Structure 1
C-alpha cells in the first residue's frame, strides 16, 4: 500500500507551511524543511563541507576518495552521483524530458531548465558585492568575481593557458585534441564552440539578427555587434600594460601583446614558418597547397588573398581612391601612394647592401639587385629576349604584336612606349627640360643629354672586342663593326 501511494498515486498529502512545496513522503518534506531553517546536520569529517542531505554528503565524500561508483553501460563514463549518471544516459537516448512552458526549449537537466527560466523572468538574483554587476547564474557570478581578484583557477595541464571560467578551459582543451564536436547539418563545417556554429548557420540563411540602433550595421554574432558599438562611443577598453596601445576588441590586444613577448604560437607543419596570428598561418599554408580561392569574375586572375583581389578589381573599374594631398596624383593601391609621397620628401629608405644605390620603392631595389646578380627572370615566349623588369618585357612584347597604344592627340604619331610619346609631345611644346650644367646644350630626351655629357668627360664606354676602337655612342660602335665584317667578307 505504501509503494502504491508513493510511486503510483498522484496525491501529495505532505505540504510545507512556508512555501507551496508538497510531496507524497514525509522524508522528502523533512529534507525540504532544512532549506528553510538552513540546517546542515550532515558534515564531512575531512573538510569543512556540510549539507542538509545525506545523499549529497555521500556524493561529496567521493571527491576525497575519487570514487565514481555509477558507471554507464554504453560508454566509459562514470560519475560520483546517481543523478549525474541519469542525466548522462539521456545523451545516448537523446531524451530531453524537461521542457520550458513558455518557449520550445527542452533539456536533460533540471539545473539547466532553472537557468533558462531566469531569462524569461529577467531575474538576476546573483549580485556582485564590489560593483553593480548582476546575473541570473551562480557560475557566471563566480567567474565575474575573478575579474576583481585576477584569479584564474582553471589551468591547462598541457600548456600555460589558464582561465577564470571552466567553460573557457574546456573550449581551450579542444585545441590540443583537435576535436570539433559541433557540426553543421548542411555543409562539412565543424567547430569547437557552440556559439560559432550558431553564427555559421546564419551564413546559410543570410540572417543577421544583431542590429545596431544607431546605423545600418547588422551582424550574425552578438560580440561583433558589441565591438561595433564601440566605434560609435570611441571606447577602447582593452589596453596594453606596456605601451599606449588600446583596442575595441580583446583578440586584437592578445595579438598585440605578442609583439612585446615575441611569441609565435602558430607554426607550419611543413616548413619552419611560424606566426603570431592564425590568419597569417592560413595564408602561408596556401603557398604549400598552391590554392588560389579568390577569383576575378571578369578575367582569369586568381590569388590567395582577398586584399589582392580587391586591388586587382580596381584595375577593372578604374577606381583610384588613394589621393595625394600635395599634388594631383592618385592611385588604386595604398602602397603606390605611400611610394609617391616619398617623391615629395625625397626619402629613399630602401638601400642596396652592395653599392650606394637607394630607392623609394621596394620593387625598385629588387630590380636593382638583379644588376649585381645578372639575373633576368622575365623571358619572351617568342624570341630569346630576357630582362630584369616586367615593364621592359611588356614593352618588348609590343614589338612582336605591332601594338602602338600611345597616341599623340595633336598629330598622327603613335608609339609602343609611354616615354616615347612623352618625348614626342615636347616637339609640339618646344620644351627641352634636360639641360647641360656645363654648356648651353639642352634636349627633349634624357638619353641625348647622357651622350652629350661624355663630350665633357671624355668617357667612351662602348668598346670594340676585335681592335682598340672605343666610342661614346653605341650607334658609332655599330658602324665601326661593319668594317670588320667587310674585311672578313673580302678574305
Structure 2
C-alpha cells in the first residue's frame, strides 16, 4: 500500500488534463497554457516590445526579452559573480564550474553540458543536415553554421569595429580584429615565447618547431603547416577574392589585405615610430621607415652590390639589370619595372590629379610634384650647390645644375652623337631628326618643335592687336 502523500501525487499525475487543443489534440492542466499553445497554430503574437517592435506569444517571453534593453540580469553565479538574463543560462553556466555533462551520446559515449550540443553532435553519426541554403543548395548540420553561410549571400556583417568601422560576419572575427588595434596577443608559444592574436596562428607556429606540414595542395603539391594557409594558397589557383571593400568595391583574397586596404579610406595609421612620432598605415612601412634612423639596408643586389631598406625596392632594382618591365599600360603599351610607376603613368590617360595644393588649389598627378609645388609658396630652397652656393627647390634641378660645374653630359643622341646635360634637352634635340612639332598655335594653327618658339610666335598675334 502506498504512503498517503505518494498516492495523492500519483492521482495528480494520472488526473485527466481538462483543456485540449482542437487542432493537434495536445492537453493542458491550465486554460492559459492552452491559450498560449493555440497561438503556435495561429501565429498570433500579442505581446510586443515598445523598444524594438519584437513580438511574442507569451508575456513571460516578452519579460525575458525586455532584459536585453534594460540590461537587467537577475540570475547571478554564486561562484564567479557572472550574471544572466535567464535562469536557464545560469544553469548552463554553473556546469562550467561543476564540470557536469548530463547529456551523453549513446553511439560513442561523448558527453555534453547542453542538450542542443548533443543534438548537433548526433548529426555527425546520422549525417543529417537539416539546414539547407535555397540560394546554392549547401546543407548544414548546425543552425549557426547555416546563419553564417547565408551572410555570404546577403552580405550581412552585423559585427562592426568601433575603431575603424570594419564589419564582420562572425563575432569571433571581430574579437580577433580588435586585437589589431589593441596589440593584444593572448596566445603564447611555450617553446620560444612568441605571441599571437589568433589561436590558429599559434597552432600553425608550433609546426615550425616540429617541422610538420600536414596540409597538401592537390593542384601543385605544395605543403603547409596549417589549414588556413592552404585555403589562402588555393585562391592563387581559383582566383577567388571573397573579401570586398564596402567603400570602393575592391576585392581581396585575404582578410588581412582588406583590413590594410580599408585604412586608405579611414586614414588610420596605427603604427607609430618611437624615434620621430611618424605614423603609418602598414607595419612593414614602419619597419622600413625605422631603417632611415638606423641606416640599415639589409637587401643587397648580387650584381652591383647596391643595398636597400625594403625587399620590393631590391626586386625593382634587379629589373634595371635584367631590363624586365612586367607592368604594361593597356592604353599605349608603355612598360614599367614597378607597379607604382604604372599607376602614376595611367594618370596621364585618365587625367586624374589626386594631389591638390591647399593654398592655390592646383592639382597634380604625383605627390612629389605637389611637394615641390608647395615650395613655390613657402620660398624654401632646401637643395644647395656646394661649389657656388646656389639653392634650388627641387633635388633634380640641383643635379642638373651640378653638371654645369662637372661638364657631364650623360644624355647622347644616337643619330648625331650630340650630348646634353639634361634629359629634356635631348628630348627637344631629337625633334630635329624626327621633325615632330607638338606645340600648336591656337590662333593660326602653326606648329613648332619647341615650346619657346611657340611663345615667341604668339607675340606676333598680340603685337598686331
TM range (shorter): 0.5 to 0.7
CA-based RMSD: 5.7
Matches for 1:39-50 after TM superposition, within 5 Å: none
* 1:328-367 to 2 correspondences below 5 Å: 329-367=306-344
Residue 444 of structure 1: how far off its partner (Å): 1.8
For 1:105, the equivalent position in structure 2 comes to 97
Cα 1:376/1:283, change in 2 over 3 Å: closer
Structure 1 residue 329 displacement after superposition: 4.4
Per the alignment, do residues 207 and 385 of structure 1 end up closer, same or farther by CA in structure 2, a change over 3 Å counting? closer
Query: Do 1:267 and 1:274's aligned partners in 2 also have CA atoms closer than 8 Å?
Result: yes
CA contact under 8 A between 1:96 and 1:106: conserved in structure 2? Answer: no
- Whole-angstrom distance in 2 between the partners of 1:384 and 1:336: 33
Question: CA 1:193–1:319 in structure 2 vs 1: closer, same or farther (change >3 Å)?
Answer: same
1:412 Cα shift? 0.9
Q: Residues 399, 311 of structure 1: CA spacing in aligned structure 2 closer, same or farther, 3 A cutoff?
A: farther
Query: Which residue in the other structure is 2:90 paired with?
Result: 94
- Contact kept? 1:351, 1:357, Cα under 8 Å: yes
State how far apart, in whole Å, the 1-side matches of 2:436 and 2:243 are: 58
Shift of 1:213: 4.0
Match of 1:409, SS? coil
Q: CA deviation at 1:398?
A: 1.8
Q: Deviations over 1:333-387 (max 9, x none)?
A: 5544433332222112222333342222334333433434555554444447544
Change (3 A) 1:480 1:278: closer
Q: Specify which of 157, 179, 189 is matched with residue 132 of structure 2.
A: 157
Shift of 1:250: 1.3
Change (3 A) 1:462 1:405: same
Contact 1:463 1:469 in 2 (8 A): yes
Please list every run of 5 or more consecutive structure 2 residues that lacks an aligned counterpart in the other structure.
7-25, 38-57, 63-85, 160-166
Moved more, 415-424 or 218-227: 218-227
Matches within 5 A, 1:237-386: 237-260=214-237, 277-279=254-256, 290-295=265-270, 297=272, 306-307=282-283, 310=286, 314=290, 317=293, 323-325=299-301, 326-327=303-304, 329-383=306-360, 385-386=362-363
1:275-305 deviation per Cα after TM superposition (whole angstroms, max 9, x unaligned): 6555556667778xx54443465799888x5
SS at match of 2:132: coil
Question: Per the alignment, do residues 384 and 97 of structure 1 end up closer, same or farther by CA in structure 2, a change over 3 Å counting?
Answer: closer
SS of the residue aligned with 1:105?
helix
1:212-232 deviation line (CA, Å, top 9, x unaligned): 343221457654433211112
Q: CA distance change for structure 1 residues 153 and 227 in 2, over 3 Å: closer, same or farther?
A: farther
8 Å Cα contact 1:320-1:333 kept in structure 2: no
The question of whether the paired residues in 1 share the 8 Å contact of 2:408 and 2:421 is answered with yes
Contact 1:322 1:337 in 2 (8 A): no
Q: Could you say which structure has the larger radius of gyration?
A: 1
The answer to whether 1:172 aligns with 2:145 is yes
Residues 266/376 of structure 1: CA separation in 2 closer, same or farther (3 Å cut)? closer
Tell me: CA distance 1:478–1:328, structure 2 relative to 1, closer, same or farther (3 Å).
farther
Structure 2 distance, partners of 1:315, 1:426, is: 31
Change (3 A) 1:337 1:204: closer
Q: Distance in 1 between matches of 2:93 and 2:441?
A: 99
Shift of 1:421: 1.3
Question: Greater RCO between the two (CA within 8 Å, min separation 6)?
Answer: 2
Other-structure match for 1:40: none
